[in-house]
Amino acid sequence: MHHVTKTQQFTRSSLDQLFALASQLEKTRDDCLKGKIMAALFFEPSTRTRLSFSSAMLRLGGSVITMESGQASSQSKGETLEDSIRVISNYADVIVMRHNETGASDRAAAVASVPIINAGDGNMGQHPTQSLLDLYTIQRELKREDGIHVAIIGNLRYYRSARSLSYILGKYKDMKITFVSSPELQMADDVKKYLTRHKVEWNETEDMAQVVKEADVVYQTRIAKEWIKNDAEYEKQKGRYIITRKVANSMKKGAIIIHPLPRIGEITDDVDTSPHAVYFRQVGYGLLVRMALLKTILTSKQK
């Protein structure tokens, strides 16, 4: 493993190894990355991903340099992404990058002399480390890997986390995905074709009520105003699928609700105390997965 730009590059074996390491790192500190530097390049806003990666690096004994806004970079002066990456490769041992352009991580990986980790690229791109922590959360909470019914709800067309999770679920057996969305926000065809090719059962519906009663995992998403530029369309979409306590109470025993966060009203606050709600534990699992990923990438060459 060198660059991490999309979930399709993982095998089931590599996922098993990564998750085993994540579990080993729970409640421990490790200085295996002492002397290593991570550059966090965030051309888009981020709280969880940026701080999670920074915390992961620090907990492994490494250091972090950061750029939190594209306006603070030389790209605001006209420098190309490729030139920026060539330069920053001299300053760090790994680059974690979020960018608003789909495919930006692949462009960066093509010229970087150090590993690139995609922390989200574009509205139709991917967010592979989010899908890794989503999958790890599912497996930790359900205590199984195969035969899982996942309902992915809300903004499916313009939500890179939903795309990445769909791709990674294709690595497992007897999986079923139900896409719940309005016609305007349905999952893109490339993901559906991938799932069909990998023999993952999938279907789509506009009706959330029945699906949440049947699913093992309810993956709620934010409508994401930054990707829906028409205000009237955003207002129409944002209130269409809301998980209330009543909805949560209709779920079967042992089923879970996850969300990449932030939530903007699509899960009501009273759901937080539901036994189905695990989205805040999900954040902690994400730290472990990112620690495992950084350790794997930055120590593998030393073996």
Given the residues 49, 129, 137, 178, select the one marked as catalytic: 49
Write the single-letter amino acid at 166.
Answer: S
Given the residues 27, 77, 229, 253, select the one marked as catalytic: 77
- 77 an active-site residue? yes
Given the residues 36, 59, 98, 192, select the one marked as catalytic: 98
- 49 an active-site residue? yes
Phi-psi region of 27 (alpha: psi -120 to 50; beta: other; left: phi over 0): left
- 259 an active-site residue? no
Given the residues 48, 86, 263, 281, select the one marked as catalytic: 48
- In the sheet with 37-42, reading across from the earlier edge strand, the strands are 63-67, 37-42, 94-99, 116-121
Given the residues 127, 140, 157, 276, select the one marked as catalytic: 127
Q: Catalytic site residues? A: 48-49, 77, 98, 127
